[in-house]
Chains A and B, each alone.
Chain A
Amino acid sequence: MARQVFAYIIHKDGVVDDTALELVAAAGKLDPDASITAVVAGAGAELDAVCNEVASSFAEIWKIDDEALAYVNAEVLRGMLVRILPKGGIVLVPHEHFGMDLAPGLSIKLDAAYLPDAVDFEGIEDGRLKVVREEYSGQVSTHVLCDISEGAVITVRPGSFKADESKSANGRVVDKTAEAMEGDLPGSARRYLEVVEAEIGDVDITKSDILVSVGRGIEDEENLEIIYELAEAMGGDVSCSRPIVDAKWLEKSRQVGTSGQTVKPKVYMALGISGTFQHLGGIKGAPFIVAVNKNPKAPIFQIADVGVVDDMLDFIPKLTDRINEIKG
């Protein structure tokens, strides 16, 4: 029998997340002969829209449709999934804020192996899957062998598998709600209350054409002055990586990344930013990326278009002066 791979589908307001098609590609890379099933949870008409969309790329869709999932709480969903997922299967979940909430515990409840944040698969040998991961903020990679003989839950890094749009399916939707809801509603020890929307800041960096983005390499709050000056000279706006917001040097609305804003400028200056996937996940639209970093091995240089290996505290003021000089 073909290996069973399940892909958990993230969706919001009836729109399927990009990771859905990435998981199709990931499953295909994991095992080209696998039978792939999408698992979709939610409620009502929104969920139907999601199922319809997913049906064009998965042969089979398992849906769990209940009011209790109008906002999907990972604790509740985990209990339901344990009731419907067969032992021994492979479950792929996007490695983002929901997947990180759901997946580790799911592996325990399914008695399966857990493999977090996979970026590539390199084949199966003797029941062991060879997985590529990254460590130390992407500075080095590793091969990890994962014993999948009794099943596995694997989180897959968003953006690391190229969405497979070639496969078209006319998927069959199977309603698993009754089975998932059998007995009590699970996970009642954690109750969803509400979503508090991000505050809107003074500048909307999602609309900026030119972003001068600063990371931990700036070292000190006072040094931010050189960033403001460069932004002013270039006619751009200041954005940043997460540590700058954590330190309260800039407001949250200036943070670029998966837990911040998604920006699509023409030019992105990454200054003292190492280039973790959570940061890069917020940069869309293929801007021209300039990286300034004192570490020649910083992962940002793999994504950037041009790079300068230097101490930004020396380099940036000189760059600013020269721009101002040229502008006259």
Chain B
Amino acid sequence: MEILVCIKRAPDTSENEIEVNSDGTDIERDDLVYSVNEWDNYAVEEAIQIRDKIGGSVTVVSVGDEEAEDVLRREMAMGADKGILLSDDAFEGSDGKGIASILKAEVEKRNYDLILTGAQADDGAGQVGGILAAMLDWPYASLVNFLEVVDDNKIKVGREIAGGNQEMNEIDLPCVLSIQTGINEPRYVGIRGIRKVASLEIPVLGADDLGIAPGSVGESGAKTKRQDYFVPELGEGAEILEGSTDEIIDKLIELIKSKGGIK
């Protein structure tokens, strides 16, 4: 099975406090720790497991600048066979449809049977997979947390739905799936693993290579444009307890007790 996994380089939200920069045009990017989008890691692991079971290859692809090479290499260290970077100034400012259009151009150059994306990325959209599928006219299933290859033409997937329930579907290949966390346990990648793939070449393709008309993607092709970043003014929020730890603890216990929180 030829599998393509779409991955995005994103700030690691469990490692970083994300703040708006001084003029509200972006988040504060200095000192941010980046890694591969959490969901994409599960997608790559799933692809590797399928390949190891039934054969084929795993390609990881990312739309981004040259720094996205790091995350491609990381996923190659995990076991992906090949990485492709789709990069061009003309891609900058793309919205979800723009990213999907760029990925589609790569998909149409080769013969993939299965495309995996993460369920969502840092901006929480959850859109690229579904848009890509519709553009390709391939079937789509989102939030997949179980996957089993039935035969060359179809697979069985479980979709996560409300309340921890799971919706089982059979879906024809080729198809696009968005992968939910928890479907597997992504393997650990050590520094040695990354060194092993350090010299592998990662082809970089631009708009010309992909046959994408400039203006159809990027900022000019985008129907949605981010105007600014801000921190919302919300209600009062929590009463933050201050003082020494002992004082805080005594105050907190008093409050919890009064609400029936200590039996």
Residues on A lying within 8 angstroms of B by beta carbon are: 73-75, 95-98, 100-101, 103-109, 113-117, 130, 132-137, 139-147, 152, 187, 189-199, 209-210, 216, 233-236, 242-243, 245-248, 252-253, 255, 258-262, 266-267, 269, 274, 288-291, 295-297, 300-310, 314-315, 318-319, 322-323, 326-327
Do A192 and B167 touch across chains, with their CB atoms under 8 A apart? yes
A104 to B260, CA, bound (A): 45
A301 surroundings in chain B (CB, below 8 A): 237-238, 240
Type the 1/0 row for B229-263, where 1 means its CB is closer than 8 Å to any CB of A.
Answer: 11110110111110001101110110110011111
A198 to B163, CA, bound (A): 7
Do B245 and A310 touch across chains, with their CB atoms under 8 A apart? yes
A31 to B134, CA, bound (A): 29
Do A145 and B224 touch across chains, with their CB atoms under 8 A apart? yes
Residue B133 at the A interface, CB < 8 A?
Answer: yes
Do A319 and B133 touch across chains, with their CB atoms under 8 A apart? no
Do A140 and B160 touch across chains, with their CB atoms under 8 A apart? no
CB nearest to B20 among chain A residues:
A140
A266 surroundings in chain B (CB, below 8 A): 259-261
Do A267 and B256 touch across chains, with their CB atoms under 8 A apart? yes
A320 to chain B, nearest CB (A): 10
A146 surroundings in chain B (CB, below 8 A): 223-224
A247 surroundings in chain B (CB, below 8 A): 185
A133 surroundings in chain B (CB, below 8 A): 123-124
Type the 1/0 row for B69-109, where 1 means its CB is closer than 8 Å to any CB of A.
Answer: 00000000000000000000000000111000000000000
Shortest 7 CB-CB contacts between residues of A and residues of B: A235-B263, A104-B130, A267-B261, A198-B164, A105-B134, A307-B238, A108-B134
B164, B241, B259: the one within 8 Å of A308 (CB): B241
Do B167 and A242 touch across chains, with their CB atoms under 8 A apart? no
B135 surroundings in chain A (CB, below 8 A): 108
A61 to B139, CA, bound (A): 28
CB nearest to B227 among chain A residues:
A143
B11, B126, B225: the one within 8 Å of A136 (CB): B11
A107 surroundings in chain B (CB, below 8 A): 97, 131, 134
Number of A-B pairs, beta carbon distance below 8 Å: 272
B131, B143, B166, B231: the one within 8 Å of A114 (CB): B131
B127 surroundings in chain A (CB, below 8 A): 104, 114, 116
The CB with the most chain B CB atoms within 10 A, among A101, A216, A255, A302, is that of: A101
A247 to B130, CA, bound (A): 27
Quick one: given A75-B140, A108-B97, A236-B261, are A306 and B20 in contact (CB under 8 Å)? no
Type the 1/0 row for B107-150, where 1 means its CB is closer than 8 Å to any CB of A.
Answer: 00000000000010011111111110111001111110000000
Do A105 and B169 touch across chains, with their CB atoms under 8 A apart? no
Do B234 and A302 touch across chains, with their CB atoms under 8 A apart? yes
CB nearest to A71 among chain B residues:
B167
Residue B228 at the A interface, CB < 8 A?
Answer: yes
B61 to chain A, nearest CB (A): 19
CB nearest to A297 among chain B residues:
B17
Quick one: given A97-B162, A104-B96, A189-B175, are A234 and B131 in contact (CB under 8 Å)? no
Residue B161 at the A interface, CB < 8 A?
Answer: yes
A142 surroundings in chain B (CB, below 8 A): 226-230
Residue B49 at the A interface, CB < 8 A?
Answer: no
B20, B159, B167, B224: the one within 8 Å of A147 (CB): B224
B182 surroundings in chain A (CB, below 8 A): 242, 245-246
A170 to B28, CA, bound (A): 51
